Amino acid sequence: MTGTPPPLTDDAGTGLRADRVSRTAGGALVLDGVTLAPRPGTVTGLLGPNGSGKSTLLRVLAGVLTPDTGVVTLGGDPLGTVPRRALARRVAVVEQHADTQVDLTVADAVRLGRVPHRRAWSPGTAADEEAVRSALARTGLTDRAHRTCGTLSGGQRQRVQIARALAQEPRLLLLDEPTNHLDIQHQIDLLDLVGGLRLTCVVALHDLNLAAMHCDHLVVLRAGRVVAAGPPRDVLTARLVADVYGVRATVTHPDPDGRPHIRFLGTTSTHH
Amino acid sequence: MTGSGTGPETAAPAGTERAAGTGPATGTEPVARTTGKGAGRGRALPSPALPPLAGAAGAVLLCVSVALAVTVGPADIRVADAWTVVASHLGGEPSGLSAIREGIVWDLRLPRTLLAAVCGAGLAVCGAVMQSLLRNPLADPFVLGVSSGASTGAVAVVVLGAGGGLVSVTGGAFLGALCSFALVLLLSHSLGGSTDRVVLAGVAAMQLFSALTSFVVMTAADAETTRGVLFWLLGSLSGASWTDVAVCAAVLAGALLVCGGHARTLDAFAFGEDAAAALGVSVARTRLVLLTVTALLTAVLVSSAGAIGFVGLVLPHAVRALAGPGHARLLPLSALAGAVFLVWADTLARTVLDPQEVPVGVVTSLVGVPAFVLVLYRTRSGR
């Protein structure tokens, strides 16, 4: 489990690929030789305790942070050579908690997704409006298009962020713990939505059972290193949960499709 | 707000400075709301207010305001008189007015009114850009320490005779503003460069230069100089010349072009710098370009007219509330609203205690403080 994990299926043609990426922050190694190549059209879940490097990895994949060593490529080109706007037309990001003080309507917020498609001074085109309309429809927000973002519930606000990301018409969607602050119904709702988008998605998650339910692939980080990668039934074992999270658990496979279910029993620490 | 919504043209002639300031935006509000609601049910997406109409109405209102403001004052001058003077200076027939009256129009009131319009427009645009860029609703053109730096520069020239007569007050103010802005950039960069650091560095610079100004004035100036400095610190358009108008208008035009070209980029900052970066904005470059442009514009305006407060802080909020947050509309409408507002504020400032003159900054603040409190109240209840 501590050895180098096998890289996921490579997709050098069009996809995003991180190759032995490392990044330090404040002198500490936050990412340590991470290799990741999400398979097109699938949902890859990033797991790991707080501080294991999930957010940093997503920021490196989004090109917001540059890796200290290693390289992230998009369709074979290093991210550093892809212009920012071109990158934003192919890779969209949904943050953990997007907040604004601006009184934006839902439609305004979703229109921001067209920023990378528009030049300075140019008015919006029919394609822009069509992309916004379709993004609103896919996220079920059409009826709320002129509500102010501030009047929406947390789950709806996250939907707005996903709609905005869809308006970018990306091939790849990066989501950083999008279900934080949501109740369980909205968590499942949101991940169902993400799974149904038929985009390549990389989503950082905390809840192992939600990850098992909604992800095609899982990558588990600990202290900036990939300690396991593969389909949920191979990755989520009692041993891994104990090793990575320090929690005793039993793992069963009640579903016919083999998706595991984790039942937590307590921490592995000997102190009580 | 007055909200009759019958159109700014009808409101303008009767307008006090207050009605005039909110006129163009008030006129568009009901229309914008209706459009939004009507569009929601059908296929069309809710689309923001009507920029061409609001812009045109604002421009008409500005022209009317300037024309009317020129006629206000102790010397009785009509719009037609002003027009013939302008026409004669643009190469037409002689105006037929006496030299004194012609001088009042061409050398005093017209440059002063135009400078008010240019300053109001510039300060409001700077405020709108700063608030979005720094994601701080209380940011204004002076948050980068520009005005306090300008004050120190001006005081150094007036009181201490810095520059040995080679540097004018305007020049000294401009140099002071640049020094202060450089200090803020340096400080915020070494503090990590995030937006809240920029604001904090600006506050620090503001305190430092204000203290320096006070120190110089208290220790070295006589009563008469102090009064002159004070007038300048509070903002005054009384020294307006055609050179001031030309310089300020040219810089304003350049700044409007740059900021307008960044309108969509500014929109992208709504959810923060990381979100903007993920939308393809190069955050560091954008911030440097826009901070520099707004600081330069503010420096030029402050050098000519002193530190006129509150226009940059309050007007963008008013326009945002009425016309929505999109910068493609916000920037031009803020410019128009700022111009109209300051034209009337200055008209009030020079007539209300005639023959005494009130610093225009006092007038803008007397109107601005209640509006400022309203903004604070709104932000609180919105949280």
Contact A150/B382, CB-based, under 8 Å? yes
Chain A residues inside the 8 Å CB shell of B271: 95, 98-100, 109, 112
B positions 129-148 inside 8 Å of A (CB): 132, 135, 137
Residue B33 has pLDDT above 80, yes or no: no
As a whole-number percent, the residues of chain A with pLDDT over 70 amount to 94
pLDDT class for A100, splitting at 50, 70, 90? confident
Neighbouring residues of B98: CB distance < 8 A, sequence distance ≥ 6: none
pLDDT, tens digit, 9 for 90 and up, residues A102-115: 888 999 999 999 99
Overall average pLDDT of the A128-134 stretch: 93
In the prediction, which pLDDT does B6 show? 38
Which of helix, strand or coil describes residue A20? strand
Q: Tell me: pLDDT of A12 over 60.
A: no
In this prediction, residue B52 carries a pLDDT of: 66
Average pLDDT of the residues in A163-178: 94
Amino acid identity for residue A182 in this structure: L
What are the tens digits of pLDDT across the range B191-219?
877 778 888 888 899 999 989 988 988 88
Between chains, do B279 and A113 touch, taking CB under 8 Å as contact? yes
pLDDT surpasses 90 at B87: no
A146 vs B40, B270, B272: nearest CB: B40
Evaluate if residue B25 carries a pLDDT over 70: no
- Per-residue pLDDT band for B375 (boundaries 50, 70, 90) equals low
Which of B360, B302, B251 has the alpha carbon at shortest distance from B149?
Answer: B302
C-alpha closest to that of A47 among A197, A192, A225: A225
Q: How far is B136 from chain A (nearest CA, A)?
A: 9
How does the average pLDDT of chain A come out, rounded?
A: 88
Burial call A59-93: b when 16+ CB within 10 Å, e when fewer = bbbbbbbebeebebbbeeeebeebebbebbbbbbb
In the predicted structure, residue B282 carries a pLDDT above the cut 70: yes
Percentage, residues of chain B above pLDDT 90: 28
pLDDT tier at A237, thresholds 50, 70, 90:
very high
Tell me whether residues A64 and B278 touch, CB distance under 8 A: yes
CA distances from residue B89 to A261, B73, B82 in whole angstroms, order as listed: 86, 22, 11
Other C-beta atoms lying within 10 Å of the C-beta of residue B63: 13
CA-wise closest residue to B312 among B287, B341, B269: B341
pLDDT at B44: 56
Answer with the residue of higher pLDDT: B372 or A234: A234
| Cβ contact B278–A129 (<8 Å) | no
Query: Which residues share a beta bridge with A251?
Result: A262
Residue B335: the pLDDT is: 96
Do the Cβ atoms of B379 and A101 come within 8 Å? yes
* Confidence at residue A110, expressed as pLDDT on a 0 to 100 scale: 94
Task: Answer whether A101 sits within 8 Å of B135, measured CB to CB.
Answer: yes
Q: Which domains does chain A have, with CATH numbers?
A: 1-90+170-230 (3.40.50.300), 101-169 (no CATH)
Which of A19-33, A114-128, B181-195 is modeled with the greatest confidence? A19-33
**Confidence at residue B142, expressed as pLDDT on a 0 to 100 scale:** 80
- Using a CB–CB cutoff of 8 Å, tell me whether A92 touches chain B: yes
A104 reaches B (C-beta below 8 A): yes
Closest-CA distance, B324 to chain A, in angstroms, reads: 8
Q: What is the pLDDT at residue B380?
A: 58
Tell me how far apart the alpha carbons of residues A25 and B29 are, in angstroms, rounded to a whole number. Answer: 49
Place of tokens 């609103």: A136
Is the minimum CB–CB distance between B272 and chain A shorter than 8 Å? yes
Of chain A, the percentage scoring pLDDT greater than 90 comes to: 68
Mutation choice for A interface testing from B264, B289, B327, B383 by most A CBs within 10 A: B264
Contact A115 B260 (CB under 8 A): no
pLDDT band for A58, please (50, 70, 90 cuts).
Answer: very high
pLDDT at B14: 35
Q: Domains in chain B, please, with CATH?
A: 114-382 (1.10.3470.10)
Are the Cβ atoms of B262 and A120 closer than 8 angstroms?
A: yes
pLDDT tens column, B296-353: 999 899 888 888 888 898 889 888 887 888 999 999 999 999 999 999 999 999 998 8
List, for residues B242-270, the tens digit of each pLDDT value.
999 999 999 999 999 999 999 999 999 99
Answer whether B46 sits within 8 Å of A107, measured CB to CB: yes
* CA-based nearest residue to A37, from A20, A18, A55, A21: A18
pLDDT at position A59 is: 92
Is residue A137 less than 8 Å (CB to CB) from chain B? no
Q: Does A8 score more than 80 pLDDT? A: no
Question: What is the band of B172 on the pLDDT scale with cuts at 50, 70, 90?
Answer: confident
Kindly determine whether residue B278 and residue A88, on different chains, have CB atoms separated by under 8 Å.
yes
Test mutation, A84, A99, A157, chain B, max B CBs within 10 A: A84
Name residue A226's beta-bridge partners: A221
User: Is A184 in the B-facing interface, judged by CB distances under 8 Å?
Assistant: no
Across residues A119-138, what is the average pLDDT?
89
**pLDDT confidence tier of residue A25, bands split at 50, 70 and 90:** confident
What is the predicted pLDDT for the residue at B372?
64
CA atoms of A37 and A44, how far apart (whole Å)? 9
- Record: contact A145-B40, CB cut-off 8 A: yes
Q: How many CB pairs (< 8 A) connect A and B?
A: 102
pLDDT at residue B12 is higher than 80: no
**For range B46-54, the mean pLDDT:** 60
